[in-house]
Structure 1
Amino acid sequence: MQIPTFPPSLLPALQHVMRPIVRLMLRKGVTYNCFADLLKQIFVDVAESEFRLDDKSPTDSRISLLTGVHRKDVRRLRSRAGGEANELPENVSFGAHLVSVWMNNAPFCAKPGKPLPLARLASAGGEGSFDGLVAKVSKDIRARVVLDEWLRLGIVRIDDQDRVHLETMAFIPQRGFDEMAAYFRHNLHDHACAAVHNLTETAEPFFERSVHYDSLSTASVEQLREAVRAEGMQVLIAFNQLAADLENKDIPPPEARQRITIGLYFYTEPNPPAVSKPKTPGSS
């Protein structure tokens, strides 16, 4: 019988972390059997790519020993392994870039972080129009196609003067599940990577901090929510501007390029009062 060697606090932590993921799966119709097969694939992929000895590809037997996945399943899953891309889908990364240019570059903003409403057509606004904005980022995509999609997603609106207004301070689609799922995948993955690194590596830890209270009123929570929305967004905009400036003047060779993610989040839920236990004689 194999005796687990992991820290006893790890499984309860994983159980707690997985609860919202399971909630999402149940709400979207993903069953245990479907996810269990996906989880087998992930165990095999990670063992194969990250747990090599002397940089040699591990055998099916070694992967089976590491993961607990049956050797027959290991062989089957390795034959269809395709790896995982870190990049956001092209339509999402393009949208994020376009919003960043609108937010931080003249003539599309009054100052960094203050996007201007843009004339829809180049015939009315020239290079400072929405047509000009899309052309600055890509000559291969028609501005009308982007505009129609962004109207659908709730990212922009058009006023009665035919000007396009940015309705969000970042590329955060309001109505497109596929686009929101892409950010869910990207952001939660990178946050988890930072946390796992801090738990398992001896190198310098990644910055990962939070503030938490458990006895606030609804009014206080709303005040904090608004503060995070306004001030937190300004912090991210400043980081975005710094990253854009650094990227423009610091061009490393392709093999030395690194990607970064900087995140900020807010969460609240009801906090049931603790059940008071009856005191026993002699307790205080």
Structure 2
Amino acid sequence: MKNSNTNPLHRALYRILRPMARLLLRNGIPFAEFAELVKRAYVDAAMEDFSDQRKKPTDSRAAVMTGLTRKEVKKQREILAGEHHGTAGKRQENRASRVVSGWVHDPAFQTSEGEPVDLPFDGPLSFSELVRRYSGDMTPRAVLEELERVGVVASGDSGELVLRQRAYVPAGDSEEMLQIFGEDVSDLIATIDHNLVRREENSQPLFQRTLVYNNIPPEVMVRWRQYAAQQSQTMLEQLDKWLGPHDRDIASHGKGKTTGDAVRTGVGIFYFEDPVQPDVNGEQK
């Protein structure tokens, strides 16, 4: 590979792949398994994102673009066809998250001031009714145990259930957390890719901003973490209050069926910190 140390895209890819390799190793994914997934992604992108709208994409053209053999392209394409069958359009929000969203937005589960009301477990307008509206066939007890496990819901003094947090975030390398990892990283990369090519497509840029300082004293960090989390949560709640009621599932109180086209949209915020490492000349980088 020529100029791998000076190619800006190579440097950017390495920065993406380094923490991803750590996550993969922690979850027991060897390189060969990762390489198979990369082949599949290349074939999927070649067949879908770079297809000629006037004619069906061919294995030969995908092979030329990806550098894979036609046999390998055919194999990956057939795997993709099996994976996509019955799953198209089913990139759904986590069910526990939908329950929390319904609790926050559905007027039936709010106080007169518009805040989430404390709920009994059973009965009309209870937690069980909330789960029936917004989580499909999941049992209320299973949803409650998960929300209690991550600290989103707790039992109040009166025995009713209290919403402690307005968002569901699973912990650890759970299946739900890995799903969030896949969605958040792909959304960020898709936004950056859109902004890189928007001039060619004559489209508007998507909002993408980052706040970074690289010479902050360690004694400031505890206060900064708390302040950043507080302000980020406040902003997300304000955005959620505006956008949530426009969701057709929320507007129909969990009883409607999606008709016509739908758009998936949102805003992501993430916090980061790492020690500044000196370069070979002793300077910070």
Question: Normalising by structure 2, what TM-score?
Answer: 0.81
| 8 Å CA contact retained: 2:96, 2:135 | no
Q: CA deviation at 1:131?
A: 2.6
Q: CA deviation at 1:117?
A: 3.3
Residue 281 of structure 1 corresponds to none
Residue 31 of structure 1 corresponds to 30
Residue 12 of structure 1 corresponds to 11
Residue 270 of structure 1 corresponds to 275
| 8 Å CA contact retained: 1:187, 1:261 | no
| 8 Å CA contact retained: 1:64, 1:71 | yes
Alignment of 1:213 with 2:219, yes or no, is: no
> Equivalent residues in 2 for 1:1-284 (5 A)?
8-82=7-81, 83=84, 85=88, 87-89=90-92, 92=94, 94-106=95-107, 108-110=109-111, 111-112=113-114, 114-122=115-123, 126-127=124-125, 129-137=126-134, 140-159=137-156, 161-174=158-171, 177-202=174-199, 203-247=203-247, 254-273=259-278, 276=281
Q: CA deviation at 1:197?
A: 0.9
Residues of 2 paired with 1:155 and 1:85: CA distance? 31
| 8 Å CA contact retained: 2:121, 2:160 | yes
Question: Normalising by structure 1, what TM-score?
Answer: 0.81
More off after superposition, 139-148 vs 254-263: 139-148
| 8 Å CA contact retained: 2:105, 2:245 | no
**What's the C-alpha RMSD, in Å, of the aligned pairs?**
3.1
Rg larger for:
1
Q: 1:223 to 1:115 in 2, by over 3 A?
A: farther
Contiguous gaps of at least 5 residues in structure 2: none
Encode CA deviations 1:201-244: one digit per residue, 9 max, x unaligned.
22111101010001112232222221221121111111111112
Q: CA deviation at 1:139?
A: 7.4
Q: 1:229 to 1:115 in 2, by over 3 A?
A: farther
Alignment: residue pair count: 267
More off after superposition, 22-31 vs 156-165: 156-165
Q: Secondary structure at the match of 1:119?
A: coil
Residues of 2 paired with 1:101 and 1:55: CA distance? 43
| 8 Å CA contact retained: 1:135, 1:143 | yes
Q: Percent identity?
A: 27
Q: CA deviation at 1:120?
A: 2.6
